[in-house]
Amino acid sequence: MRFFSSAKSSIPPRGFFSGISPWLIVGAALILGLAVALPAFRSAQRDKEYLTQNLAARAEALIWALEAGPRSRMGREQGPHFLLQALLEETAKQSGIVFMAVVDADGIILAHSDPQQIGANFPGEMPRDISGAVSWRLRDMEGNALFEVYRRFAPLQIGRHHHRDEADGRCKPPAGRKGRIEAVSSNDAKNIAFVGFDSKPLENALAADYRNGLLLAAVTAALGLVGFISLFWAYSYRQSRRLLKDTQALASEVVTGLPIGLLTSDSAGFVNIINAAALDILGLDADKTIGAPLAAVPGPDWQGLAAALSRSEKVFEKEIVLPPDKFRHVSLSASQIRNDDGIFLGNLFILRDIGEVKRLQEEAKRNERLTALGNLAAGVAHEIRNPLSSIKGIATYIAVRMPSGGPEEEAARTMIVETDRLNRVVSELLEFARPGAMKVAPEDVNKIVADALRLADTDLKAKNIAVTFARGDFADRAPVNAERLTQALLNLILNAVQAMENEGRLRIAIETAAETDRLIITVEDTGAGIPDDILPSIFTPYFTTRKSGTGLGLSIVHKIVEGHGGSIAVKSRVGEGSAFVINLPLK
């Protein structure tokens, strides 16, 4: 079976992401950001160390130049102090240097890039434990951040309170003070050289590194969060699509396996779903039905049903007959399809073939009538048969005694004929009144059919009817009552002969269905056929369309077949003929 549509197998297990808290995803993203930020901060620290070492090395080189300059010019006219001051002023003009100074152990400025500071106290805190290696510190000077590098100043020991004379440019001690300049060894030097750099470039570079690190961490965390969310959404989307496909497959299997017909239309009134059972009940083709307007689909009054549903009227187990030319009884139920928001999506129609139910109901009614009729027939037949024997005997006596050819003899002969007819009716009544169950024994059904044809041979030849008999395999040991089955087949054959004109065709076929253990006997003629309006009544006792018929022949056939635990069905088309199909059990 197929499920036709224009558009849980079990529900799949929950995925890995389905049980994860969103906070866990955020935490994972933050951890990813930190994992990127820490190396960035370490890199910033390394950059800071590199810049610091670079400034310290530069300052050491400048201090070394200050030490080397006066040492190389000792003994010249200007004097070492003059040369030191001049060299210090020129050196301090380099980019990034805020000041340069040489200070003695007491904090008195001996030389300074700003000559006005000579002799004054050093504005910053004097460092302790001065060695020959450079040291550095960060401090604030007049609101400006300084990177200050210092170390012991080795080449000269310069006395206190010297200054440069404005007239001749010599360094002299202030008035009332004495000083001297002496060359001393490095180990004895107690003076300190300072180089102050502007720390803003360093701070700006470090701040930029930190900002970049933070920005990189933030971007990485954001990208990680977006990545996790994207993975979660993608996985959820795939899970949702798989769940939707599984649900659709489950719905398809459920709808396909339904023994009842299902048809749905969308909100615009077009067919979008119909299953195989509905196609069979309505006699439609799926390709021509899907997408077609509901009003154009053959069957019940779809528009009327839809209008009734729109008026909130109930349509439940409504019995209809369709299509009219086949008298197919169908139970129809309908309802509207709405979503959770109450929006109308379409209509649902459920069709259930109740032909078998109707047949069983009619069968039950017929059996009730047959039971009552059988009981009545048995009593009446016994009461009638005895007087009939006396009447026939008297009529025969009169016919013999009356003059041959006279009206008296003719009347007597008529009484004999009618008495025989009444006796035949009584015999059929008694036959009909027999109990349904019968004794069966393994018999050859092929032989039983041949015997029935032999008994009807005179009637068949009288109308020159061609007979075709298709023998069946495995029919030689069927459990049947040979006498009663012969009677049933003879009745069917004689009915076929009476329904056909001269030179008709009679076909009898025996088939065995091994998979169902059934024996099928088909008696088919080319007679006038049976109209659809009387077809349901042909097995009813005393129902006949022939003037000379009793209406018990097919009723007796039906009863014999039922007595074997089988069934009989008829297919007929007016003007083409009829086919009676007997279905008997093989076990």
- Taking CA atoms, 252 is separated from 2, 9, 337, in Å, by 8, 10, 17
Residue 166 — pLDDT band, cuts 50, 70, 90? very low
pLDDT of 159 above 50: no
Higher local confidence (pLDDT), 575 or 14: 575
Tokens linked to 120: 């004054």
What pLDDT is recorded for position 19?
53
| pLDDT for res 206 | 74
The whole-number pLDDT of residue 162 equals: 45
Q: Which domains, from first to last, does the chain contain?
A: 16-256 (3.30.450.20), 258-353 (3.30.450.20), 358-432 (1.10.287.130), 441-585 (3.30.565.10)
How far, in Å, CA of 585 to CA of 569, rounded?
Answer: 15
Give pLDDT, residue 160.
42
* Nearest-angstrom CA–CA distance, 112 and 240: 79
Q: pTM here?
A: 0.44
Going by pLDDT thresholds of 50, 70 and 90, the confidence category of residue 363 is confident
d(CA 43, CA 271): 69
Provide the 10 A C-beta neighbour count for residue 63: 24
Q: How far is CA 334 from the centre of its chain?
A: 26
Q: What share of the chain has pLDDT > 90, as a percent?
A: 8
Strands 505-513 and 567-573: unpaired
26 or 465: which leads in pLDDT: 465
Q: What is the mean pLDDT of residues 472-501?
A: 86
pLDDT attached to residue 580: 94
List of residues 6+ apart from 451 with CB closer than 8 A? 486
Contact 256, 276 (CB under 8 A): yes
Q: State the pLDDT at residue 78.
A: 52
Question: Tokens 């994207």 sit at which residue?
Answer: 230
Mean pLDDT of 281-310: 87
Q: Are 147 and 138 in contact (CB under 8 A)?
A: yes
Write out the two tokens for 573: 């088309």
pLDDT score for 583: 92
Structure tokens given for 204: 């700006």
Distance CA 426, CA 420 (A): 10
Residues paired with 332 in a beta bridge: 318, 351
Mean pLDDT, the chain, whole residue set:
78
32-36, 211-215, 363-367, 389-393 — which is least confidently predicted?
Answer: 32-36
Find out whether 377 and 432 touch, Cβ atoms under 8 Å: yes
**What pLDDT score was predicted for residue 167?**
43
The answer to whether 240 and 248 have CB atoms below 8 angstroms apart is no
Nearest to 368 by CA among 540, 507, 241: 540
Residue 497's nearest CA partner among 563, 546, 535, 538 is 546
Q: How many CA atoms lie within 13 A of 257 on its CB side?
A: 6
**How would residue 34 be classed by pLDDT, with cut points 50, 70 and 90?**
low
Q: What is the 3-state secondary structure (H, E, C) of 253-305?
A: HHHHHCCCEEEEEECCCEEEEEEHHHHHHHCCCHHHHCCCEHHHCCCCCHHHH
Token pair in block for residue 197:
């750099």
**Which residue in 341, 351, 336 sits closest to 267, CA to CA?**
336
Exposed / middle / buried, residue 308 (Cβ in 10 Å: 0-12, 13-18, 19+): middle
Is it the case that residue 566 has pLDDT exceeding 80?
Answer: yes
How many C-beta neighbours within 10 Å does residue 236 have? 13
Residue 179 near residue 76, CB atoms below 8 Å: no
